[in-house]
A and B are shown apart, each in its own frame.
Chain A
């Protein structure tokens, strides 16, 4: 681990320390609550009957036979809730004329993907509920499935939502500069116009903890407590209030410890809504826990795009323009931000590069498949994949070293802040420093030599070098930017810092962790800000009753937005305490200095009060300064002025066995720059996990459907998630270029690894095989696909 750490401010003792995560002891020993382990008196279990067909009309449904099964209290179909269930919300109408079909929690007349919920059974225990599902009688009249994105757009294609008259959800267009002129110039000057089609397969989020929900009604008060394995307790409460008619103040949402999300728990899901309706109808508490099979069918999927890319460049390799045309798979319905996911990428296709023109367009398409939505990186992995694959392809076309091509075009460190062609302002970055360090650790020249040798001797195992130099926009988000993109929410975050009489600190955050280590990172920030011991800080989150306000965790925002709110609240506490300290020390406020947890009178350092002493005095309130309230609590709400733009240089050496098609990653170097680092251990965890997830897209994972629209990758035996032996040793290093847009200088790191890694791996595979005539392999690059690509190109050249 090498670090080119910049000097951190003098007071920083905790910030930058490799603290072991304080939440881990509790999580690892199971001394915690997951939603599924919550028991409340009289709890009933709900099981969900799902459509076995991709597309069908429900001609008859009779749940009553289930009522005769042992232990069953109730059974409902969509018809039973037709008047009150409403539609699951989509918060992102990306265009004014976007088609937004109803998304009923329980299907009423028609099912639109295999896994669509059609009925529920409520029983005394999980087993009885599952058994009774089999008794429900239901007749389906099959309708044609809609599976292929381009066929779905053709005239006369069968329709997912017949009322719409089309499968098109929207057309979004964002031109910047004159792309046609850039293209013309490339052609006129003997440059190049390169076209490529890249495919983003569908991915199935596989959080270790499946989704689960418990709803506890207090019928007499009209109140509901909803526990959910969710990333977004605060947003969920608002959405439930808006869709169920239960007033917001009568709903409490709790996200207990949550075991992973990756964007897949960033929704109001059908089961949450139905559980609430059922609990309301029965006046009894209800629990539902997802099975892994349900997870794969009914939790949102990620990615699912066709990317047509055109790059115009001079003969020497200067980028002139980039044109991106996407077809994006919405799935059967619009979930919370389904249509917006490709747009989060729209700003990132230009990546780290300068160019004169950019033209982005995207067509959203309905299919009879599980809805898509945000999945780790959401839009930015797709964008990064396309531009970084294209840069390698362009280097090949022009006969330029791929690193040199990137150097020629990237934004140089002295050019920051830089206004990109896509309309963002990158505040800071240093691609040179990160890349130079990566090349050094990687041994680039030596590997290139070995690659040449293997080619020369026709080694059955070929070596490829893959490069991906990414940046991404995270720390979501400036509210005004979200507003300008028609997103139905803000992007601020809330914090409250409360000093307890003994000097301990309770910190309320609106961010809601699900594995990231917020308790640790935030405690480090608070410890430094207030000068208190790390162990004296306690985080409170994920419960709308105790952390009443917030916008939750996604888009690598918790630190870059939530952490800043905490910092500001700490600052306000100190300002309050300063007045009390001044009073106790009989000095003027302006003469009081604060550092390392102690207030001192300027020029008389022996005259001092610790923050703990000041807190106790404030609590007693026996001797407060005039007009000062006896409280050392403070709130802050931070709305960022800009996104944060972490970046990194990932280099992969892959050995491809040309006889079997198997890819082994021999070395992986990741030099990431997420600005100032609060806890290197936590950052490394995010980077490794992110890389594992990104290389899983490159090599292993794919949601597959048969011709009838059934998910054929619906179990962990068929959907291959890499485990520890499949993840290579990763050489990690960092450069630290602080963000200039927030007082901590931090940038997000939660998604960076996923964003950077996928193209690096695929570029390495293609690089290993280019001399055999292979210039693309679709993801995941399974051994069979790689082998066939080699067979096809050798057949073509024969």
Chain B
């Protein structure tokens, strides 16, 4: 299909981008990798009048070490994230999940920040940031602020970014000594998750000391499986105990019903996949 007409600007700094966005007002939109936005434009599901392209803003790319945490620039592509040594060393869950996103072509263009700002509950990375208690760093006309991942995703395709705000980066706490796994269930390898489970597990003395579980596509936003997290804490790091705890994975979720799965099937999947994700993260 053919997008409707729009104006286009490609600033080179965040400040320029923020002011361009401010000038465009309600009808302006940020263009990152375009892997979600371009299809919306082409299907004429979105009609922005101005696109502010962030691809030339160098300061938004790359991964920074900030001691206890990493900051991943919003415009860092999926491809870069998957290979980044800092991410693999300190926040491997992000690399594991990003490697399951789409196909190489999409991963070369699509960005970490774009995936989060798009706030698609079927996207793989929102649940990961929620599980890792990451923080979103946003810059707007009123300066910079941080938003905890748990408060960033407001609804289906809706974040709590204010109009005029740009997501500039994501601060992810380093987790030393944890095991990770992202269990993605999709029908063909390059499709979106029917359900996905992001798990981080810390073991101590053969038991699970602590676990964090984020769920992809189990509601209008990514969700934490808190019931599982508390059930699993202190249990034996063994498949039976983990699968038992995982049976609470669907609690409090409101999964969608669509072509790729009815809600009850998704609830069932969430349990099975959470058990598998925990077992893989715990290396049992």
Contact = CB atoms under 8 A, between A and B. Distances in A.
Interface residues on A, range: 20 to 34
A535 interface: no
Contacts of B192: 717
A218 interface: no
B272 A659 contact: yes
Contacts of B191: 717, 720
A697 to B, nearest CB: 14
A787 B188 CA distance: 17
Nearest to B194: A783
B259 A718 contact: yes
Contact of B2 (A126, A715, A718, A788): A126
Nearest to B271: A659
Nearest to B122: A717
A723 B268 contact: no
Interface in B150-165: none
A237 to B, nearest CB: 30
B265 interface: yes
Contacts of B43: 293, 715
A712 interface: yes
Contacts of B4: 130-131
Contacts of A726: 188-189
A700 interface: yes
Given A712-B259, A723-B103, A293 B187 contact: no
Nearest to B103: A723
B257 to A, nearest CB: 11
B5 to A, nearest CB: 7
Nearest to B261: A784
B189 A723 contact: yes
Interface in A754-798: 782-784, 787-788
A725 interface: yes
Contacts of B23: none
Interface in A646-673: 659-660, 662
A126 B269 CA distance: 45
A512 interface: no
Contacts of A704: 259
A478 interface: no
B185 interface: yes
Contact of B265 (A126, A722, A784): A784
Contacts of B42: 291
Given A659-B272, A713-B259, A784-B261, A130 B1 contact: yes
Contact of A723 (B188, B194, B269, B273): B188
Nearest to A126: B2
Contacts of B1: 130, 291-293
Interface string B189-217: 11110100000000000000000000000
A105 to B, nearest CB: 21
B262 interface: yes
B268 A787 contact: yes
Given A131-B5, A712-B259, A784-B265, A700 B187 contact: yes
A397 to B, nearest CB: 31
B100 to A, nearest CB: 11
A444 interface: no
Contacts of B272: 659-660
Contacts of A127: 2-3, 5
Interface string A715-745: 1011011110110000000000000000000
Interface string A687-724: 00000000000001000100000001101011011110
A29 B191 CA distance: 28
Given A725-B188, A787-B265, 17 more contacts: A47-B2, A126-B2, A130-B2, A291-B42, A293-B43, A660-B269, A660-B273, A662-B185, A700-B187, A700-B188, A717-B192, A725-B190, A726-B189, A782-B187, A783-B194, A784-B262, A784-B265
